[in-house]
C-alpha cells in the first residue's frame, strides 16, 4: 500500500497542456502577428502618402518662389529657372485647371518616382500687385500615371508678386 500512495504523491499537481490550451495559445499568437503585420503595412502606406504630399508641396513652392523671384512675369520659363534639379516637361493640356484668368503654362514634373502636374497662372489687378498661382495635382495610388485625369489629389497656392 505504501508503494501505491508514494507513486500517487509524485504525480499530484503535475498536469499536461491540453489541446484546448494549445489551440488558444496558437490563436493568440497568430492574432498578434497579424495585427503587427497590418500595422506595419498601414504605417508604410501612410509614410508613402506623406512623402508624396510633401514632395508636391516642395515642387509647388519651388516653382512659385522661383517665379516670384524673377518678377512674376509672363516670360517665366521653369525649365530654365529650376535647372536640372527637377525633371520638367511641357504639357500640352491645361491640367490641372488654372485657378486664375491667365495661364502661364502647364508642366509635368517627375520627382521621387512620381509625376506631378503643375499649372502656373496669374491675374493682373488694377491697384494691386499681380496675383500668381500654382496648382499641383498628383495620384496618390498610381504614382507613375501619364495623365492628369488620373490624379486624385491636388492643391493650389495663390500669392501676390511682391510678397
**Residue 10 covered by a domain:** no
Contact 61, 157 (CB under 8 A): yes
Structural domain includes residue 6: no
Q: Which pLDDT value is given to residue 149?
A: 72
- In a domain? residue 78: yes
For residues 108 and 126, give the distance between their C-alpha atoms in angstroms, rounded to a whole number: 32
> What is the extent of the structural domain holding 23?
19-160
Whether 41 is in a domain gets the answer yes
* Residue 46 in domain: yes
Within a domain: residue 4? no
**Residue 5 domain-assigned?**
no
Of 145, 124, 133, residue with least CA distance to 60: 133
Over 70: is that where the pLDDT of 64 sits? Answer: yes
73 or 9, higher pLDDT: 73
Q: Evaluate whether 20 touches 120 at the Cβ level (below 8 Å).
A: no
Nearest to 133 by CA among 93, 153, 106: 106
- Establish if 95 belongs to a structural domain: yes
Q: At 92, list the grid cell.
A: 500640352
Q: How many domains does the chain have?
A: 1
User: How do residues 117-156 score in pLDDT, each as one tens digit?
Assistant: 999 999 887 777 888 999 998 887 776 666 777 788 888 9
Amino acid at each position: 500500500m505504501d508503494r501505491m500512495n508514494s507513486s500517487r504523491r509524485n504525480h499530484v499537481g503535475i498536469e499536461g497542456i491540453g489541446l484546448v490550451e494549445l489551440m488558444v495559445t496558437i490563436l493568440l499568437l497568430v492574432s498578434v502577428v497579424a495585427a503587427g503585420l497590418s500595422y506595419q503595412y498601414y504605417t508604410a502606406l501612410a509614410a508613402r502618402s506623406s512623402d508624396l504630399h510633401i514632395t508636391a508641396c516642395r515642387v509647388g513652392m519651388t516653382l512659385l518662389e522661383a517665379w516670384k523671384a524673377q518678377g512674376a512675369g509672363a516670360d517665366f520659363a521653369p525649365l530654365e529657372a529650376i535647372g536640372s534639379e527637377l525633371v520638367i516637361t511641357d504639357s500640352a493640356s491645361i491640367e490641372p485647371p488654372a485657378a486664375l484668368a491667365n495661364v502661364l503654362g502647364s508642366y509635368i514634373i517627375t520627382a521621387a518616382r512620381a509625376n506631378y502636374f503643375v499649372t502656373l497662372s496669374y491675374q493682373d489687378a488694377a491697384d494691386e500687385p499681380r496675383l500668381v498661382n500654382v496648382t499641383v495635382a498628383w495620384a496618390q495610388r498610381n504614382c507613375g500615371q501619364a495623365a492628369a485625369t488620373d490624379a486624385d489629389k491636388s492643391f493650389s497656392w495663390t500669392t501676390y508678386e511682391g510678397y
